[in-house]
Each structure stands twice: as C-alpha cells, then as structure tokens.
C-alpha cells in the first residue's frame, strides 16, 4: 500500500462518529436558546447553580437513564448552545416531571420546569425528538383537544396495555354497563372520562386558538391537526345550532 | 446490649492528645445543652416566616386591593377548618358547599376514587355539586407531551375556577356559593403553579384578561383567583375524625404504607399540610392522618419520598421505566421491608401506576402483589361502602381481595351481588348518589331546578 | 460622664467587650437572658474549639471567670432589656429584673440561634433518633460519653455529616453561608475517627469553606491523617429501612445517584439570626439587615456601628461568625464605644 490515506485505521474500523450528522448552524442554536429564554418562567426557574447535585440525587429518571437535571441546569446556565440542542434530541424526554428537583433545589431552581420550556421549544421547532415522542400521545391529544378530557375508559384495554395483565377489569361485563354501574351520573360515559358539556368543549377551543396550542400541534403532527380541526368545526356547528334553537324557543 | 459508655481497649477518647481533660458536664448539663432541639414548639411558623419565603396569597390580596383581581373566598358558609402548612402558615380548608373538579384519570380508570369521595360526603350530609361544565386541567398532556404552554394552562385554570364560582346560579344561589375541590394531584399542583405565575407576571394577567374576557369569564372585568387551591385529600384530612366515627370495620391489623404524591406536596411545598399530630409534623399529613385516625398501622419504608414512576409520558411510551420504578422502588420495598397489606395514595397517576404495574413482575420470576387504593376508597370501604358498587374495586388490577380478606369482607358475596346488580343497571335501574338533573348547569341539556335539598 | 457601658449578651463577643472596657478602667453592665454567662459554646456544650483545640468549657469558661471576677463589670443573668431610651452619652435601660441602668453607650452582642433541623423534615431529624445535629455530637464528646447512636447506644460504624443544613438554602429562606460549619464538621469528623478508629466518616458537601489557615489544619489533615471521605453531593432525603439510615445523594463528580446506608447522620446546622432579633431591634431602635441579623451601620469607617448612634454590635448578632472573630469584634466594639464617649466629652 502506498500513498497517504484520508482516514486513519481507527476511523475505517469504527466509522466517523460525526458522519451523517449535519452541523447545526449557530443562528439556529441561538434561536432555540432565545425561545427557551423568552418564556416568562425562565428567570423564575433558573437562578444559578451550586452544582450540589441534590436534583439528580432525588431524580427518578437519573436512576434509569443517562439523564441528570443538574446537567440540564448547567447547560442552560452556561449557555452551552450545542449541549442544549443535544439534550433536546433525547435527554429532556427522560424527565418524569415529578418536580422533586424543584422541591429540593437550594437555589430555588426548577429543573423539571426548565425541561418543559425545552420540550415546548423542541415542538415549536419541529425537532425529530418531539415528533417521535408525540406519536404515541396522539390519542390522548385528540381526546383532550377535541373534548377537554385527557383520558377515557375505552382507552384502557388489555390490547393497549398487555403488560398490565388480565385484571384490568375483574368483572366481566360490557364497558358501557360497567360505566353505568358507577353511581355518579357524570361518569356514565365510555368515550370521555366524564360527560363534558358541549358548551365547555367549545369554550376550550377558543383557549387552544388564542394560546397557540393548535399552531404547535400543526408543526409536529399535521394529520392530527387536520382531524382535530374537523372535529372542532363539527362541534362548533352543533353548538351554534343549539344556540339558534334556544333563540327560536324564546322568540 | 453493651453499656454505651464503656470504653474498650484500643478505642481512645483522648481529644487532641496528652493535654486532653474531660469537660465532665453532668448528665443534666448535657441534657440542658441540647434541650432546645427537643422542644416541640411552634417552630416552623417561628423560623420560616413570610419575611423569608414568599406567600403568594399576600400578593393576591395586594392585587385585589389594586382592583386587578377578585379573590374567591373560602367564607364561613363553607365551614372552613384551619390547618398548618409546611412553614406553619395557615390554610383554610372548606368542608361543605363543594364543587367537584374531577380528575380525568380517576374518572377514566379508577372510578371508585371519586365515587368513594362522593359517598363519604353523602354519609356526612356534605353539600356538593358535580357537573359537566368542566375540562381536565390539561396538565397531564402538557407534562407528558409538551403540547400546551403557560398561557393555555393558566386559561384552563381560570376558566374552570370561574365556572365553579358561577355554577350555583343555575340553582338560583348566589355566586361563590360552591367552592372548588380539586380531585387530581396533577391538577392541584398545576393550578397552584399557574396561580403563582399569574401573581408574578402582569403580562400573563393581561393576556388572560383578554382570553377570559372573550369567554365571558371575568367577574366585573377582573380575573377570579381562588383564595385557596384545595385538594380532596386535604378535605379528607380535616374530616378524618368525622369519617372515623362512621367506621364499621376494625382495621387495626392493617399495615398501611403511604405513597405521597409529588405534585401534591413537593410542588409548591409551602402549601402542603403538616400536622403536629401526624408523624410529629415531619411528613406531609394527608393520607397518613386519615389512615392513623381510622386505626391502621402506618408503616414507614425507605423509599417513601420516591415518586411512583408515572412520568406522564413514561406510563404510555416508556413503560419499562414506569413499571421498573413502580415495582423496584415502591411496591417491592413496601412488601419486603414494611410487610404492608396495602399502599395508600392520594393522586390519580400514582394510583394508576402502582396499581396496574404489578402483574408484569411475574416476568422476571419475582412476582409481587400489593393492594393499591386511594385514601378515600379505603375510608369508604371501612365505613361500610359496598366494595364494588361504591369502591368499584373491580377496576383495580392489584389484589384488593387480599386486603378485603384481612378486613373480614366477604368480597365473593359482594361481587356476586354486584354482578346481579349489573342486570338492573343494564335495564336502566342503576342507582346514583345524587339527582342526575343537577349535573348540567347551562348549555345543551340544562333544565332549571329548584334549590338543593 | 462616667456612666457604664451596657453590654447585652454574655457570649464570646460580650465577654470580650466587657473585659476590654474593664482593662481601660471603664465600667460595664453585662446582661444575659440565660441563667449563666458563656453564650452558645457553654449553653450548647460545645466540645473542642476551632482553632486552638481547647475545650469550650476551659476556653470560654476562662473568659467567664475573668469577667465574673472583675469589680468593674456588673453582671445580670436571667435578665433582658425591657426598654432603652436616651441619646449617646446619656442612655437609660430598664432591665427585666427591675434595675434601671444609666449607660453612655450599648454594645449588642446578642448572638445567633442554632438552625432547627425540624425545618428540613426530609433530612430525617425528628423522625429518626439516629439523625442528630453537630451540636448534639459536640455534646456527646464534651460530656465524655463518646459518639453513640441515640437509638440503642451502639458505636456507629458509618457516620455521614451533611453540610449546609439550614444554610445556603432558598427553600427555607436561608440563603447565607453559616461560615463555621465546614471547619466544625471537619474537626468533629477527626474527633469521631479518633474515638472510633473503625468508624468511617463521610462528609457530604456543596463546597468546602475551611477558609484561611483552616485549609491545612482541618480540611487536608482530616483526609491525610484521619482518612475522612469527602463527597461532593447535597443529600436529597434521609429515610430508614428499619435497620439503617438510608441516605440518597448524587456523587456529582462521579455523576451517579447514590444510596448509602449509615448508622448515624449528623446535620451540620447553620446559624440563624437570633429568634429575638425583632424584639431587640425594636427595643434598641436599630435596623435589621435583610437576612434578619442586626445591620451594621458602617463597614469601613468605624467598626461595630449600628444604624443608631451610641449603639454598637459585635459577634454573631451581625451574621454567622466564628468565636475568635466574635472576640475580636467585641474588642472593636469596646474601642468604638470608648471613642464615641471620648468625643462627647471633648465637645462638652
């Protein structure tokens, strides 16, 4: 073999660890950090860091993942833009959102709260990590945004949660009957956790629109956004019809 | 046991060398010197006062004075009980005229949770309203997915609490008659966080005035803020003596472990109840207080402070984490270390996580089983509530039957009764805890009713 | 013009001030609310003091005896000041024992209050008998009984000392560093190792602040000679499995969460402002600084001034302070008070 090769033998063997990852432009990194920083909670939840580790000490996720709330705080406090971007690819989704870190931090930081600002920003920028994470959440979001209820009885099934075992319901009867056997009338539902007034759902749509929730949904899951849009239109029409009927009845 | 004061060879107690001489304080002097730490005094209020840590309620009173907000008060008609929080501050817990702010997770898959609570209220003739005009707090989805933001969460908070304030009008009662009682720990923590952000940010208040105005949910053009955000477990805590009077089943043999919920006592920790009569005020009082008052043995365990592993998104899409955490750091510890008969919680996500994630422990050959119930379910059970019709224990995956066996409840017979009762239900003859016509207070389906009771 | 100087508080600072005044022939009236003089080192039964290694009872006890024996110092124990009026050179103090004292000036050496660990319930004090404070360990040593687990009197094999309990903690509104606990803890760790050579002692710290010459004498020596282990971690919670205490932390340098069993956990408790500071401030008409200690009027020009002319302050009344610095400040306050009265005489 003669001549000079462009790669070392080690690189040939293990490959270039950076191959295939396009560098992220500095402007993009700055924009992401500014979005995190712009939230009114940022200054409230990040005051400095003593590097004492009490947050990681008490963090459930730190026991199971390569995740440390102290590291998140350090990245944000030192404005380590690459590190922040990296953490947003995966680590921030490990946080279990228990907020024990915030209850313990002697500086009064809320690492769990800061993680939420990073998650919101990951969604705003349509980061792949956010899309991956949200996929299994689409049923919850569909339910929540269209009705105002996050969870419904028909979502809990043996097929959906095989690891929960056969005892999800210990009485063998149709779901609708079991629900009607709950002596609380608002709970006689199967598609929502409780019966939600149509007027209530429609009010909630205004909140979604006014606060930009639908905009972020559109970025990460355009299909879901379309489906939800259709449901919202339908329910609004339904409510408008009811209002008209009322009008007619009184006149 | 050996004499603690005995000195053995090779064990020197010689200070810094030959110049050492004993200070020889008498036992009395020694005791006197540390007596201050043994005093059980009004210590938390004395030492962590409001000069040191901010009380957001003080900011509320100021904003109300400035005409920016209106505070929904816990007034005498709500028959409040005063409790002390972590730093010895006062909190008012209303005990009647309550507006149930339900929990989607409870209603969705642990329906015996709210049912037991309402049943207990019926037993004690507590006035309440359970209605359809309310949404989830949306915080489970927010913490899990990141969809949502501080504005959407704050707006939902203000909307639901405004509805609690005006719901009484449907019954011809004055505004503010009902006071909201939050069932879910996630909602409880989230709403308190939102209240705090609202008090700190004029910008957020301005945005909210616009949105709530659009919804027609301002009072005299002002945002309505609750004087106290109250969790049902706090209500149960202050009612514990009343509940215990109604106990019909002896539970002194029951070894109970408590799982306190992170969003109940770690989030806004200064608002959590600590009671001198419950573990000397060193642990959050709710749940432990009612279990002690009912006569069970409350057993401590080394992972008491740990979260359950719910994780909001983890329970859906990182299940290995959730079940590993729930089994290894909670259930197995409670069983093997504390020899518990039951684990008692006070929050939706925790109960779900701890209850549902036990079966999978068979997979690694070390099966573990422990009944998991909410405090109010246990309370209802030992006050004679039907284990299936009311406590709805068939929705629990954990072995609630072993607990009922130990309590001397013939669950097979009760279950057979319930299965028989399902025929009545299917035929439209189900029983309810309140007049169903009350559950709609406006909008489609509303019919005007007279005043309650 | 020969009115005495009122000294409130008979701990190291107050004793030093009284002694300093007497040495130049000025009378002092020393008032202490406790039934004896000596302040925290005596009342709380401290063991060996930093930096001399002398027993508190000998070192501070000697100061007490010196003042007690001095005819120029009038001592009122079990006494507080009820009211204080007048102007520099001509104050009157009403004492709780009924005495009225005319004083040219006053020196407040009112000290601090130990942090009460019950305010941090998650660290197990009050729940588990084998969670104790540095003061209690000092007590175990100074009483001659040795370091034992209170639950059953056994000799601990593993001891954890948690630093910054009641210090540097916004959760409970105590943002300050209590200054002395690092050195006190390293000192205690060595004493424990000396008494119980088979016992492992771990110190959990955020930062080690054995400032100045204490670095070698305490921090280094405790490692080199006594094999005390230092782990950079703030402990999250102390619980029990029924046998041992369970301590949960992150070893921040190794970056892993750790859970370790211990026999004895020691809280290195910080220094709170004296619980009576609000009363003291209102009685004497002096200002408190934002943490709740007595505010200094002047950091550079005249030592020991408060916000009110004629009233001086020394020692831990102004913030966490060491014993030897408190003694130095007692002297400084005495000089400042004398200087003021001298000036008053010159003008008159």
Element of type H or E holding C273: strand C271-273
Residue B47 confidence (pLDDT): 55
Same domain, A151 and A199: yes
Task: Supply angle C-alpha C317, C321, C322, rounded to 5.
Answer: 135
Q: How confident is residue A8, by pLDDT bands cut at 50, 70 and 90?
A: low
Does some domain include residue A108?
A: yes
- Separation between Cα atoms, residue B61 and residue B390, nearest integer Å: 41
Burial category of C88 from C-beta neighbours within 10 Å (exposed 0-12, middle 13-18, buried 19 and up): middle
Residue A3 confidence (pLDDT): 47
Q: Is the peptide bond before B190 cis (omega within 30 degrees of 0)?
A: no
Compare CB distances from B102 to A99, A194, A197 and report the shortest one's residue.
A194
* DSSP string computed for B1-63: ---TT---TT----TTSTT-------HHHHHHHHHHHH--SSHHHHHS-TTTS--HHHHHHHH
pLDDT in tens, B209-256: 999 999 999 999 999 999 999 999 999 999 999 999 999 999 999 999
Q: Do A185 and B311 touch (CB under 8 A)?
A: no
Taking each helix axis from N to C end, the angle separating A81-89 and A69-77, rounded to the nearest 10 degrees, works out to 140
The verdict on A54 touching B (C-beta cutoff 8 Å) is: no
The verdict on C309 touching A (C-beta cutoff 8 Å) is: no
Same domain, A192 and A105: no
User: Which pair of structure tokens corresponds to residue B295?
Assistant: 């006569």
User: In A, what residues contact C, Cβ < 8 A?
Assistant: 47, 50-59, 62-63, 68, 70, 100, 103-108
Same domain, A156 and A96: no
- Separation between Cα atoms, residue B87 and residue B45, nearest integer Å: 5
Q: Per-residue pLDDT averaged across C243-258, rounded?
A: 85
Nearest partner of C334 among C1, C19, C3, C10, judged by Cα:
C19
Same domain, A169 and A119: no
Q: Per-residue pLDDT averaged across A239-245, rounded?
A: 93
Residue C142 confidence (pLDDT): 87
Tell which of C53, C58, C115, C121 to mutate to test the B interface (max B CBs under 10 Å).
C121
Residues with Cβ within 8 Å of C235's Cβ and at least 6 positions away in sequence, in order, are A54, A57, C123, C160, C162, C204, C247, C248, C249
Q: Per-residue pLDDT averaged across A43-55, rounded?
A: 94
Residue B7 confidence (pLDDT): 41
Does some domain include residue A11?
A: no
Could you report how far apart the first and last alpha carbons of chain B are, in Å? 66
B contacts of A177 (beta carbons < 8 Å): 422, 425-426
Tell which of B34, B55, B268, B285 to mutate to test the C interface (max C CBs under 10 Å).
B34
Instruction: For chain C, give the mean pLDDT.
Output: 93
User: Which pair of structure tokens corresponds to residue C143?
Assistant: 């009483």
* DSSP string computed for A137-172: GHHHHHHHHHHS-S--GGG--TTT-GGG-GGG-SS-
Residues with Cβ within 8 Å of C47's Cβ and at least 6 positions away in sequence, in order, are B23, C55, C56, C138, C139, C141, C142, C188, C191
CA A210 to each of CA A203, B149, B210: distance values in angstroms, whole numbers, following the listed order: 11, 11, 9
Same domain, A71 and A168: no
Residues of chain B with confidence (pLDDT) below 50:
1-21, 33-34, 36-42, 45, 451-453
pLDDT in tens, C146-185: 999 988 889 999 999 999 999 999 999 999 999 999 999 9
Tell which of A52, A73, A111 to mutate to test the C interface (max C CBs under 10 Å).
A52
Same domain, A206 and A245: yes
Beta strands at C112-114 and C271-273: parallel, antiparallel or unpaired: antiparallel
- Asked if B305 and C259 touch (Cβ cutoff 8 Å), the reply is no
Q: Which chains touch B (3 or more CB pairs under 8 A)?
A: A, C
- Asked if A133 and A94 touch (Cβ cutoff 8 Å), the reply is no
Task: Supply angle C-alpha C295, C297, C302, rounded to 5.
Answer: 135
- Asked if B85 and B270 touch (Cβ cutoff 8 Å), the reply is yes
User: Which pair of structure tokens corresponds to residue B218?
Assistant: 């301002």
Q: Which residue has the tokens 């720990």?
A: B185
Residue B411 confidence (pLDDT): 97
Q: Do A52 and C206 touch (CB under 8 A)?
A: yes
The verdict on C295 touching A (C-beta cutoff 8 Å) is: no
Does some domain include residue A109?
A: yes
Same domain, A107 and A65: yes
User: Which pair of structure tokens corresponds to residue C307?
Assistant: 């916000």
This model of the complex carries an ipTM of 0.90
Residue A249 confidence (pLDDT): 79
Q: How far is C265 from chain A (nearest CA, A)?
A: 17
Name all domains of chain B by residue range, CATH numbers in brackets.
56-233 (1.20.1050.140), 249-426 (3.40.50.11810)
Compare CB distances from C292 to B10, B51, B279 and report the shortest one's residue.
B51
Q: Which of A97, A125, A153 is the C-terminal boundary of a domain?
A: A125
Q: Which of A95, A125, A155 is the C-terminal boundary of a domain?
A: A125
B contacts of C119 (beta carbons < 8 Å): 43-44, 47-48, 87
Same domain, A117 and A61: yes
Q: What is the CATH number of the domain that holds A78?
A: 1.10.1060.10
Burial category of C346 from C-beta neighbours within 10 Å (exposed 0-12, middle 13-18, buried 19 and up): exposed
pLDDT in tens, C100-120: 999 999 999 999 999 988 889
Same domain, A96 and A154: no
Q: Which chains touch A (3 or more CB pairs under 8 A)?
A: B, C
Name all domains of chain C by residue range, CATH numbers in brackets.
5-111+274-347 (3.50.50.60), 117-271 (3.50.50.60)
Q: Which of A125, A150, A183 is the C-terminal boundary of a domain?
A: A125
The verdict on A38 touching B (C-beta cutoff 8 Å) is: no
Q: Do B152 and A211 touch (CB under 8 A)?
A: yes
- The yes-or-no verdict on residue C347 having pLDDT over 50 is no
How many domains, chain A?
2
Residue B128 confidence (pLDDT): 98
User: Which pair of structure tokens corresponds to residue B314?
Assistant: 């983890």
Nearest partner of B362 among B334, B399, B387, B395, judged by Cα:
B399
Q: How confident is residue A135, by pLDDT bands cut at 50, 70 and 90?
A: confident
- The yes-or-no verdict on residue C197 having pLDDT over 50 is yes
Region label for B221, one of left (φ > 0), alpha (ψ between -120 and 50) or beta (otherwise): left
User: What range does the domain containing A65 cover?
Assistant: 26-125
Does some domain include residue A183?
A: yes
Residues with Cβ within 8 Å of A222's Cβ and at least 6 positions away in sequence, in order, are none
pLDDT in tens, B86-139: 988 899 999 999 999 999 999 999 999 999 999 999 999 999 999 999 999 999
- The yes-or-no verdict on residue A145 having pLDDT over 50 is yes
Give the three-state DSSP class for A81: helix
C contacts of B278 (beta carbons < 8 Å): none
Q: Do C249 and A54 touch (CB under 8 A)?
A: yes
- Separation between Cα atoms, residue B39 and residue B14, nearest integer Å: 32
The verdict on C82 touching B (C-beta cutoff 8 Å) is: no
Least confidently predicted of A8-17, C179-188, C260-269, C317-326: A8-17
* DSSP string computed for C174-234: B-S--SSHHHHHHHHHHHHHHH-TT-EEEEEESS----TTHIIIIIIHHHHTT--EEEE--
Residues with Cβ within 8 Å of C52's Cβ and at least 6 positions away in sequence, in order, are C59
More confident residue, C285 or A21: C285
Q: How many C-beta atoms lie closer than 10 Å to residue B267's C-beta?
A: 25
Does some domain include residue A20?
A: no
Same domain, A89 and A188: no
Does some domain include residue A19?
A: no
Q: SS3 helix, strand, coil % of chain B, rounded to 5? A: 45, 10, 45
The verdict on C339 touching B (C-beta cutoff 8 Å) is: no
Residues with Cβ within 8 Å of A54's Cβ and at least 6 positions away in sequence, in order, are A101, A104, A105, A106, C233, C234, C235, C236, C249, C250
Residue C259 confidence (pLDDT): 87
Same domain, A143 and A236: yes
- The yes-or-no verdict on residue C286 having pLDDT over 70 is yes
Rg (CA), chain A: 24
Residue B55 confidence (pLDDT): 93
pLDDT in tens, C62-93: 999 999 999 999 999 999 999 999 999 999 99
Same domain, A177 and A224: yes
């Amino acid at each position: 073999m003669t001549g000079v090769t462009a790669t070392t033998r080690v690189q040939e063997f293990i490959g270039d660890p950076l191959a295939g990852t396009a560098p992220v432009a500095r402007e993009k990194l700055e924009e992401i950090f500014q979005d995190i920083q712009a939230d009114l909670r940022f200054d409230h939840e990040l005051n400095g860091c003593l590097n004492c580790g009490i947050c990681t000490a008490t963090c459930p996720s730190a026991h199971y993942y390569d995740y440390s709330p102290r590291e998140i705080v350090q990245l944000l406090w030192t404005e380590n833009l690459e590190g922040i971007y990296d953490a947003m690819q995966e680590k921030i989704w490990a946080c279990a959102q228990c907020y024990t870190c915030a209850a313990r931090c002697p500086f009064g930081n809320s690492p769990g709260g800061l993680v939420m600002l990073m998650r919101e920003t990951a969604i705003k920028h349509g980061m792949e990590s956010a899309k991956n994470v949200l996929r299994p959440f689409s049923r919850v979001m569909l339910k929540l945004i269209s009705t105002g209820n996050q969870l419904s009885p028909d979502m809990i099934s043996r097929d959906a949660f095989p690891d929960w075992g056969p005892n999800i319901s210990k009485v063998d009867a149709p779901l609708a009957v079991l629900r009607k056997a709950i002596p609380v009338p608002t709970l006689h539902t199967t598609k929502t956790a409780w019966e939600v007034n149509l007027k209530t759902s429609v009010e909630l749509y205004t909140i979604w629109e006014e606060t930009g929730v639908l905009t972020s949904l559109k970025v990460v899951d355009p299909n879901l956004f379309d489906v939800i849009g259709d449901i919202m239109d339908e329910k609004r029409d339904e409510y408008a019809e009811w209002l008209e009927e009322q009008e007619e009845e009184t006149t | 046991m050996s004499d603690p004061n005995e000195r053995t060879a090779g064990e020197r107690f010689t200070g810094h060398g030959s110049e050492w001489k004993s200070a020889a304080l008498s036992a009395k002097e020694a005791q006197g010197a540390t007596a201050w730490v043994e005093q059980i005094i009004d210590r938390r209020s004395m030492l962590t006062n409001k000069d040191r840590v901010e009380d957001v309620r003080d900011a509320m009173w100021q904003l109300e004075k400035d005409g920016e907000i209106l505070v929904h008060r816990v007034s005498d008609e709500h028959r409040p009980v005063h409790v002390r929080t972590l730093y010895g501050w006062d909190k008012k817990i209303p005990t009647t005229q309550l507006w149930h702010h339900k929990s989607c997770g409870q209603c969705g898959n642990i329906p015996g949770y709210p049912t037991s609570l309402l049943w207990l209220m019926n037993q004690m003739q507590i006035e309440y309203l359970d209605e359809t005009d309310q949404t989830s707090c949306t915080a489970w989805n927010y913490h899990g997915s990141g969809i949502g933001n501080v504005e959407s969460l704050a707006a939902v908070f203000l909307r639901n609490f405004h509805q609690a304030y005006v719901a009484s009008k449907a019954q011809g009662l004055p505004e503010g008659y009902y006071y909201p009682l939050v069932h879910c720990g996630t909602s409880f923590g989230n709403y308190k966080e939102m209240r705090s952000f609202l008090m700190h940010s004029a910008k957020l208040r301005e945005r909210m005035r616009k949105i709530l105005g659009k919804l027609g949910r301002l009072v005299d053009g002002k945002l309505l803020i609750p004087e106290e955000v109250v969790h049902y477990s706090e209500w149960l805590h202050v009612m514990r003596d009343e509940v215990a009077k109604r106990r019909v089943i002896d539970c002194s043999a029951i070894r109970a472990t408590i799982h306190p919920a992170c969003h109940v006592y770690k989030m806004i920790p200064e608002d959590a109840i600590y009671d001198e009569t419950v573990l000397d005020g060193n642990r959050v009082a709710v749940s432990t207080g009612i279990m002690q008052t009912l006569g069970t043995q409350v057993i401590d365990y080394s992972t008491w402070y740990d979260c359950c592993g719910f994780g909001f998104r983890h329970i859906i899409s990182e299940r290995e984490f959730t079940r590993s955490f729930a089994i290894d750091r909670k259930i197995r510890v409670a069983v093997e270390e504390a020899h518990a008969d039951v684990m008692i919680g006070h929050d939706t996500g925790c109960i779900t996580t701890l209850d549902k994630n036990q079966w999978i422990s068979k997979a690694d050959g070390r099966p573990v089983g422990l009944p998991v119930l909410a405090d109010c379910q246990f309370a209802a059970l030992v006050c004679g509530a039907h284990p299936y019709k009311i406590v709805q224990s068939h929705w629990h995956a954990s072995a609630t039957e072993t607990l009922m066996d130990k309590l001397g409840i013939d669950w097979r017979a009760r279950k057979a009764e319930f299965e028989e009762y399902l025929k009545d239900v299917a035929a439209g003859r189900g029983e309810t805890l309140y007049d169903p016509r009350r559950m709609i207070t406006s909008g489609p389906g509303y019919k005007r009713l007279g005043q309650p009771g | 013009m020969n009115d005495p100087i009122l000294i409130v508080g008979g701990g190291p600072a107050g004793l030093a001030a009284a002694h300093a005044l007497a040495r130049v022939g000025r009378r002092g009236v020393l008032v202490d609310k406790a039934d004896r003089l000596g302040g925290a080192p005596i009342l709380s039964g401290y063991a060996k003091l930093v930096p001399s290694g002398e027993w508190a009872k000998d070192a501070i006890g000697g100061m007490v005896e010196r003042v007690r024996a001095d005819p120029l110092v009038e001592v009122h124990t079990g006494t507080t000041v009820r009211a204080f009026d007048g102007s520099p050179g001509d104050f009157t103090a009403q004492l709780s024992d009924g005495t009225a004292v005319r004083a040219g000036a006053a020196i407040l050496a009112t000290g601090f209050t130990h942090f009460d660990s019950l305010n941090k319930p998650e660290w197990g004090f009050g729940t588990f008998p084998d969670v104790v404070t540095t003061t209690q360990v000092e007590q175990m040593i100074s009483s001659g009984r040795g370091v034992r687990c209170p639950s059953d009197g056994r000799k601990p094999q593993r001891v954890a000392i948690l630093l910054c309990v009641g210090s540097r903690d916004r959760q409970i509104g105590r943002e300050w560093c209590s200054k002395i606990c690092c050195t006190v803890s390293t000192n205690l760790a060595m004493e424990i190792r000396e008494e119980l050579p088979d016992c492992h002692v771990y110190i959990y710290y955020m930062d080690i602040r054995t400032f100045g010459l204490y670095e070698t004498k305490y921090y280094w020596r405790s490692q080199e000679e006594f094999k005390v282990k230092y782990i950079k971690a703030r402990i999250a919670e102390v619980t029990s499995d029924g046998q041992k205490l369970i301590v949960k932390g992150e070893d921040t340098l190794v970056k892993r969460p750790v859970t370790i069993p211990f026999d004895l956990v020691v809280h290195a408790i910080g220094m709170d402002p004296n619980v009576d500071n609000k009363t003291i401030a209102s009685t004497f008409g002096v200002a408190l600084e934002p943490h709740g200690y007595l505010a200094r009027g002047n950091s550079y020009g005249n030592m020991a001034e408060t916000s009110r002319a004629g009233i001086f302050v020394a020692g831990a009344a102004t913030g966490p302070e060491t014993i030897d610095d408190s003694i130095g400040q007692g002297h400084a306050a005495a000089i400042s008070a004398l200087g003021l009265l001298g000036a008053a005489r010159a003008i008159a």
